[in-house]
Amino acid sequence: MNELIETKNTALATNLQDRFKALRAQAATAPETWEPVAGECLLGVLVGSQKAVGTYGENYQMLIQDESGAVVAAWLTQWLKDNLRAQGTDKGDLIALTFLGKKQSPAGRMYNAYSLIVDKTKQP
């Protein structure tokens, strides 16, 4: 009976060590959140999305792999979600997201303005 318990504990420990190793690797490559200034462009390949908590609560971020290979997270505003959808953006598409700065709506509310270009040309 003790032999069975030792085997289970060893298997559990090995599995747990593998999980620790995977989590360490994931933490080491966690994306930084893009904090743009007016005129700055985030250029790269759309590699996915993630749920995160920020200043305004829980929301989604898109994950962009930039020219250096680093993955950067950008908050998905409603405008950005709508424009990504309108352009049929998929993982693997090249995007250029430019922060145009703070703008004022006709109703007087301030918002972050962006421009978005999507290049859907896939590389072999």
Verify that 22 and 72 share a domain, yes or no: no
The total of structural domains in the chain comes to: 2
Q: What is the pLDDT of residue 124?
A: 57
Indicate whether 77 belongs to any domain. yes
DSSP letters of 16-84?
Answer: HHHHHHHHHHHHHTPPEEP---TT-EEEEEEEEEEEEEETTEEEEEEEEEETTS-EEEEE--HHHHHHH
Indicate whether 37 belongs to any domain. yes
Verify that 93 and 62 share a domain, yes or no: yes
Indicate whether 124 belongs to any domain. no
Task: In whole angstroms, give the CA distance from residue 119 to residue 41.
Answer: 15
State which residues of the chain have pLDDT below 70: 1-13, 122-124
From residue 9, alpha-carbon distances to 6, 70, 102 in Å are 5, 38, 57
Is 116 within 8 Å of 64 (Cβ atoms)?
no
Q: What is the pLDDT of residue 57?
A: 82
For residue 5, the enclosing domain spans 1-30
